[in-house]
Amino acid sequence: MPEQNETKLNIGLFGFGVVGESLYRVLQTNKSLNAQVRKVCIKHADKKRNAPAELFTTDPQDLLRDDNINVIVELIDDADAAYLIVSDALSNKKSVVSANKKMIAEHQDELLELQRTYHTPFLYESACCASIPVIRNLEEYYDNDLLQGISGIVNGSTNYILTRIAEDGLTFEAALKLAQQEGFAESNPALDVEGIDAVNKLTILLTHAYGTVALPKEIVHTGIQNLHAHDATYAKEKGYEIKLVAQAKKLEDGSVAAFVLPQFLKKDNQLYNVKNEYNGVIIESGLADKQFFYGKGAGGFPTASAVLSDLSALRYDYKYEYKKLRYQEPAALAQDFYLRVYVSFDGLFHVPHELFEVIEEWSSNNKRCSVIGIIRFSKLKDESWWKKKNTSLILMPDAFADFVPELKESSASEMFMV
């Protein structure tokens, strides 16, 4: 078989949870990877581990200052500590594999600069949809292609909750509790259900898809915490599924619209069929047309499988090229466009009507009122009424509205006079 100029990987591993331990086990038996875990840094020395004691240390320097270790695999929860580890390793020309989406999303600029300065590979496939190879595919398959849009269900916890609401008629609270019992949601679920985890992943995707390096706080988002039983009923009546969708779309002016919002999806959307804890990503491009990737987005084994594929790539010194950053003017985040949304709220006069450009439908049953209309994105960006408790905003299936502002006066105010 073809020979490779393979680098032998001597791994320093941070973290020995489910992912870390699976990785350790697979590498012990795997003949082809030419990789070995040399040292593991853990937080709690006294915890019983199913591996030789001499493998473990609590001192990060035992890994970072060991010249025999040429790869750091970072699998810890603490994003701040992870950033220190990763930046130290890259500065010392150790290759790094990380699964820490929060850390990566919050430090993209610095991490890009470190890669630029030290020419050292930093791979993080597992940080985005775990087992779905979306980053590598964006790097390898779409780098020469005009990317029209990317949309995905990138958070398994919220998708599990939404599936339970839709299929079993549970309330949000009951579904969240069940998700926690089943291990699909954290005991502190805010990162997931408020959409922050999805935002972190979207910022990583934006960099590889469009060269747009954005901070999580720049991304307009909400989660599923305010969804109301009324919304679930509406979805059922219309044959929609409600999903939390992270999406980015290239607009005509070359900027990129990006946000994480719940959306009603029709049957013909591939994301409609993504159920339970699964993730799915649709990529639309000029040459390849529409592609869809589906798989487990979290969990020990799916994450370990992505880490393994990164290690496999390190053997031949693979680096992300960030071509959209390197060869093109990175696309700016779009600030001004129109979205078609559904908003439901308690009572009749809660939503500031003047925020809608056009109201296309509204209904009320004396308890809950819902409005479908066109809204200017900048108003979502600058205001927070739509995120308040008891208000839920959901994108319509055809979310991007072809709206011509001149129409505003006549339609919006007129139609809402009730």
Q: Which residues bind a second copy (CB under 8 A)?
A: 1-4, 22, 26, 30-33, 112, 115-116, 119-121, 131-133, 136-137, 140-141, 143-145, 270, 273, 285-296, 299, 301-302, 304-306, 308-309, 312-313, 316, 318-323, 325-328
Cβ proximity to a second copy, 293 vs 403, nearer residue: 293
Q: CB of residue 151 vs a second copy: minimum separation in angstroms?
A: 14
Cβ proximity to a second copy, 309 vs 378, nearer residue: 309
Alpha carbon distance 213, 100 (integer Å):
17
Q: Identify the residue whose tokens are 């590598």.
A: 136
Alpha carbon distance 113, 87 (integer Å):
10
Q: CB of residue 105 vs a second copy: minimum separation in angstroms?
A: 19
Q: Could you tell me which of 154, 157, 335, 356 has the C-alpha nearest to residue 258?
A: 335
Cβ proximity to a second copy, 184 vs 338, nearer residue: 184
Of the residues 102, 201, 243, 387, only one is catalytic, namely: 201
Check: CB of residue 271 under 8 Å from CB of residue 265.
yes
Annotated active-site residue 201? The verdict is yes
The contacts found for 293-296 with CB under 8 angstroms, 24 or more apart, are 293/129, 293/132, 293/133, 293/134, 293/137, 294/132, 294/270, 295/129, 295/130, 295/131, 295/132, 296/130, 296/131, 296/132, 296/156
Cβ proximity to a second copy, 35 vs 220, nearer residue: 35
End-to-end CA distance of the chain: give it in Å, rounded: 75
Q: CB of residue 142 vs a second copy: minimum separation in angstroms?
A: 8
Q: CB of residue 157 vs a second copy: minimum separation in angstroms?
A: 16
Cβ proximity to a second copy, 95 vs 222, nearer residue: 95
Q: CB of residue 295 vs a second copy: minimum separation in angstroms?
A: 4
Alpha carbon distance 9, 11 (integer Å):
6
In 266-402, beta strands by DSSP E:
278-285, 289-296, 338-346, 356-364, 368-376, 391-400
Residues designated as active site: 201
